[in-house]
A and B are shown apart, each in its own frame.
Chain A
Amino acid sequence: MRSNSKHTLNSKVCDNTVVDCRNAASIEELDSRSVALRRMVLEAISSSGRGHLGPALSSLEIISTLYDSVMTHNPLTPNLANRDVFILSKGHGCLALYAVLAQHGYFAKEELKTFCSFESRLGGHPEWHELPGVEFSTGSLGHGLAVGVGVAKAIRMKDEKRNVFVLLGDGELGEGSIWESIMHASKHRLFNLKVIIDHNDMQAFGSLKEVLPQENLVKKFQAFGFTCHEVNGHSRKDLTEALNNTVGVKPVAIIAHTIKGKGIIPAENSAKWHHKAKISTDEIDTLLRSHK
């Protein structure tokens, strides 16, 4: 509902920083807001018996921070003319977005219990036409950044002061279309575009190292003309500082080191909980008990 004062950030980029951010993400204590959001995600999953749990939990603090203390937005007027735009390119992390939108009052929290049901507005991937607060329908990976670049370019052409935030999964970086969009964002010098990479180091099958390594992301983004920061993706303080940084004329990439399944012990760093189509009541009980 508000835009914070802008900060500057001096990003350190070195191997030690990577390790620090990753370790920090691992040991980050979650605050009461994060705990409450996780409970909302679990309630949605409990009702539907399915969902992408791990990818939602790794993104929760990123999305929550955006809506809490970075973006200009208004739940009462989702199409507010001067709003910032958030696109969840990793659409399978939608449970995190739904929880944050519900907590901000875009729709009633009770609606989370309809997740994935026949007449629900809350599908397994977010739909623009269905739900207030969702800016673009996503689900097939590799699409959101191109759209975000188009929106950011349009905003620049209209000489408006709005920002565009696009959240990518690290596995999603395997899509060639993402790198096309990165080149174009750089060409158009879209300083109003902030690309956040949920770097949980895993995808559905297992670790990125095993499936398709995504290494040296900072150097890659810098080579493509971005200003790049690394942060602990579960630290609201780090995220707020990095996301509010508006210095410079380049688009910004924020490598957010996260833990897949963060905050629910059986799901942490577990490919098993990337997505489940049938979750038993016993498993739900286990998840609820292990909720930190």
Chain B
Amino acid sequence: MRQEALLTVYELAKANPKVLFIGSDLSEGTLAMMKQELPEQFLMEGISEQHLIGFAAGLAKEGYIPFLNTIANFLTRRALEQIILDVCLHKLPVKILASGGGMVYAPLGPTHTAVDDLAHMLNIPELNVYAPCDALEMTNLLKLEVDNPFPAYIRFGKGDEETVSNQLQDSEDNQFKLLGDKDSERVIVSTGVCLQPILESLKLIPKENIPLIVHITKLNSFSPNLIKLLQRKKRVLVIEEHQEQGGLFTKLLHFYCSYGLDASTLKSISLGFGYIRRYGSQIDHFKHNGITPENISRELLK
């Protein structure tokens, strides 16, 4: 997903000289072609996240569209105030491309695993927050986002993920994606790369219990049309590669309370809450926290 996203930024930069790529602490060879062909639009900067967010805000203030990429945590934690004040308070079109969303960097430990990035970002007014499920969805998103005058936080999942977004249909208002029977009593709501194990789980679920799947990429605001889908459902699984607090589940709880829906139907499958004490792989952590086809099907049928 990351590689395709950066190549998309390169394509966007070729078409629009105002598009800039700003990288920090990225590996050798990142966007080598862009560096060679568009050196003015390719800025590889130092390890200085606080500065870089303000720097990007300054460039955006002068009409540029900076796409800034480094590891999610180093932006959402260290440069949180700069994102809030320099970018979002001023409604500047800085596009934050966050590598390593969730447990992508599981082997590197709790300094690198972004389990609370959505919680931080979803509490910032004016910021659009996205968690695409695959490279196709990411590419389409970036092509739209370049013309969006608002700031954005875009979470990268793991690389080489299977393309699944083309199996879902867009909602009428294009605010989320759907698969399955809208009249089903059971629903799975998810964001990011959790869609892959969710779709796998369908193979384990009896036909009469096949759920409606709702995939939400844009997390900072929910469409009222979502109410129509979720009201009077028997069981709603909320699955996310994020801590339970502050992410999709919390947003949905708030949404349910605001619209008077029955929040007791909601069940969270997430990374729980607490510092991650184990290493291994992203998949190891999915298994450890029940983000597996087997557990999803089991929880859905309870």
- Residues on A lying within 8 angstroms of B by beta carbon are 128-129, 136-137, 139-140, 142-143, 145-155, 157-158, 176-177, 180-181, 183-184, 187
Contact = CB atoms under 8 A, between A and B. Distances in A.
B51 to A, nearest CB: 4
Contacts of B284: none
A188 B159 CA distance: 33
Given A146-B52, A150-B62, A154-B63, 11 more contacts: A137-B85, A137-B89, A143-B82, A146-B50, A146-B86, A147-B57, A150-B55, A150-B56, A150-B61, A177-B82, A184-B51
Contacts of B52: 146
Contacts of B56: 150
Interface residues of B, number: 25
Contacts of B45: 184
A153 B61 CA distance: 11
A153 B59 contact: yes
Contact of A143 (B46, B63, B64, B86): B86
5 contacts: A146-B57, A146-B58, A147-B57, A150-B60, A150-B62
A13 to B, nearest CB: 26
Interface of B: 40, 45-46, 48, 50-64, 81-82, 85-86, 89-90
Contacts, number: 87
A150 B40 contact: no
B127 to A, nearest CB: 16
Contact of A183 (B46, B58, B64, B85): B46
A149 B82 contact: no
A155 B51 CA distance: 18
Contacts of B89: 137
Given A140-B85, A143-B85, A177-B51, A150 B58 contact: yes
A154 B86 contact: no
A127 to B, nearest CB: 9
A210 to B, nearest CB: 27
A77 B57 CA distance: 23
Contact of A147 (B40, B55, B81): B55
Contacts of A151: 58-59, 61-62
Contacts of A140: 81, 85
Contacts of A158: 62
A167 to B, nearest CB: 15
A108 to B, nearest CB: 25
A142 B50 CA distance: 9
Nearest to B22: A150
Given A184-B51, A184-B55, A146 B82 contact: yes
Nearest to A157: B40
A97 to B, nearest CB: 17
A176 B79 CA distance: 12
Contacts of A152: 58
Q: Pick the most buried of B51, B52, B57, B64: most chain A CB atoms within 10 A of its CB.
A: B51
A146 B64 contact: no
Contacts of B50: 142, 146, 176-177, 180
Given A146-B82, A153-B58, A184 B90 contact: no
B85 A153 contact: no
Nearest to B17: A157
Contacts of B64: 154, 157
B51 A180 contact: yes
Q: List the 6 closest A-B pairs by CB distance, nearest first.
A: A150-B58, A146-B54, A154-B62, A180-B51, A180-B48, A177-B50
B57 A150 contact: yes
Contacts of A155: 62
A136 B63 contact: no
